[in-house]
Amino acid sequence: MEVDTEQGTVLGLRRNGVSTFRDIPYAAAPVGPARFEAPAEHASWRGVRDATGFGPTAPQAPRVLGTMDLRAYFGDGWHRGEDYLTVNIWTPDPHADALPVMVFVHGGGFVAGSGRTELYDGSAFARDGVVFVTVNYRLGIPGFLDVPGAPANRGLLDVVAALRWVRANIARFGGDPDDVTVFGQSAGATIVGGILATPEAEGLFRRAGVQSGNGLGAFSTEQASRVTRAAAQVLGIEPTARAFSEIPDDRLVETASQLAGIDLRTATRTDPLMGLSPFSLVLDVQPADSAVAAVDLLIGTNAEEGNLYLVPVGRYAGSTGADVDDVAARAHPDPARLVRTYREQRPAAGDPEIRAAILGDALFGAGTQALLEARTRHSGAATFVYEFAWRSPALDGELGATHTVELPFVFGRTALPALRGPNRMLGEGEPPASLAALVHDSWVRFAREGDPGWPARTAERRTTMRFDLESGPVDDLRVAEHEVWRRRTPRR
C-alpha cells in the first residue's frame, strides 16, 4: 500500500485491518553540526521509500533500572543510522476521511526510548478508528544540553517539527489535521507540557495529554549551564556548539552516561528531577507558570510513582526516617513541614511508603498539580484529571501503582509477553481486562470527542477519575499534600 507525502511516496503494510507506515522522516538527519541546530526540512526523494520496517533511533545507551526488565518500554538500545527524526503511523484506512489523530511522545528520562518499541504499537488505536503516530526525537546531549550558540530544547523543537509534518501530511493517511491530540508520558509528558507553552506550536493540535509529567520540571539556565560545563570538562573541549558538534555520537552517549549526580540545587530552585537525569527542558519560567495553550487537557499521575526508583534498586523496604528526611530536604524548602504533612495524611504508612510518596510527588505529582491548576484557569479549555491506582504484583508486590504502569492499559497491550513476569512491569498473573478496556477507551474517547467519560476539573469541582479494580470519579482527597507543594518558595 502506497501513500504520497509532501516529500515523496512511502510503501506500508496492511495486516488485520490496520495499515502501518514506519520510519517516515519528518526532518532532515541531524548529523555533524546539524545535531546542534534546529530541525530542518527533509529533502524530497524519488521513487518509493520502503516504510514497512522500523528505522534507526536516536543515539542512546541501554536504559537499565535495577532488577526491572524494561525492554518493552525502551527496546534493546541504540539502532544506528543517521535518518532517525521519523514518525511511525498506524491507520485503519489511508483512504478514510478526517479520522481523529493521536501523536505520542515517548518517555525515557530525556536520554532513552523511541517510537519503535513493542509497547508503543498503535494497532489498538487504529482498530478503534484513530490514526496513531509515534515520534522519534533527539535525546541526551544533542537533544537537551543547553549549549551556547545552539537553540535550546532541540528535542522539543523536533516534536514541534513532527507536529508540523503531521498537520501537512496526515490527511493522506486518513487523519484530520484539525483534530490532533498530542500526548506523552514521563519525559514525553514534560515535553508536551513545554509544547503547551511554545508559541510556535499554536494551531498544530486540538487536545493534549500529560501522563506523569512535570509542569515544574524544567531546568533554569543556571542549572543547565552546570551540566554543560561538566560535559565539556569530561570531553576536554570548550562549551560551545562548534566544539560539541565535532564530537562523534558514540562519545556523546558515553559522556551523557557520566553526568549523573551533578548537584543542580540553587538559591532559588531545587533539582526538579531529583538527580535522576542531568537533562530536561531548559526554561527560566516553568511551563506551569507560562501562558499555556487553551486546548483541552487530559492529565494525571499514578498512585505510587516513586516506587519505580526505589524498589528495583533495593532502596525501598529498608527505608528509614533519615531517608525520608533526606528526600524531603532535596525536594522542598521546608522539609520538616513537608514530612509532617505526609505523615499526618498517611497515618498508617511506614517510612518506605512516605519516602516513595514524597519522591513521586517531587518528580511528577507537584508539577502535574501545578500545571492542571494553571489549566483550570483557562475558561475556554476543559481539564480532565485521572489517577491510576491498580497495583502491579511485580517484585513481590512492592512495585505497585508505580511510574509507567498505566501505559500497557492505555495502549491496549496488557497481553504483551514482554510485560509479564516477576521482574517485568505487569508481574505474573492476569491484569484486569475490564480495567484495560476502560483506560484505553477513555483515551480514545478523549481524542475522538474531547470527553474521556468523567467530569472536567474546575475550581469548584475537583473531580479525579480513579482507575483501579473498581474505577470511578472521586473528589480530590489530597488537598493538604497538594497545598504544601503549592505554597513553597517562588519557582521562577
Q: Which residues are catalytic?
A: 186, 305, 403
C-alpha cell at 198: 511554545
What's the CA gap between 85 and 30, in Å, rounded?
A: 8
* Number of CB atoms found within 10 A of residue 221's CB: 13
One-letter amino acid of 418: A
Contacts of 204 (CB under 8 A, 6+ apart): 160, 163, 164, 166, 167, 180, 182
* Number of CB atoms found within 10 A of residue 380's CB: 7
Q: What are phi and psi of 123, to 5 degrees?
A: -60, -40
* Number of CB atoms found within 10 A of residue 8's CB: 16
Angle at the Cα of 192 (from 380 to 91), degrees rounded to 5? 95
381 neighbors 375 (Cβ within 8 angstroms): yes
* Number of CB atoms found within 10 A of residue 187's CB: 30
Q: What are phi and psi of 176, to 5 degrees?
A: -100, 115
Q: By three-state DSSP, how is residue 442 classified? A: helix
Taking CA atoms, 113 is separated from 6, 67, 70, 105, in Å, by: 27, 18, 11, 10
Closest CA to 158 of 236, 85, 100, 249: 85
Q: What are phi and psi of 229, to 5 degrees?
A: -65, -40
Q: What share of the chain is helix, strand, coil (3-state, %, to 5)?
A: 35, 15, 50
Q: By three-state DSSP, how is residue 164 classified? A: helix
Q: Count the helices and strands in the chain (H runs, E runs).
A: 15, 14
C-alpha cell at 30: 541531524
C-alpha cell at 475: 473528589
* Number of CB atoms found within 10 A of residue 114's CB: 27
Q: By three-state DSSP, how is residue 444 classified? A: helix
314-326 as b/e, with b when 16 or more CB fall inside 10 Å? Answer: ebbeebeeebbbe
What's the CA gap between 475 and 298, in Å, rounded?
A: 17
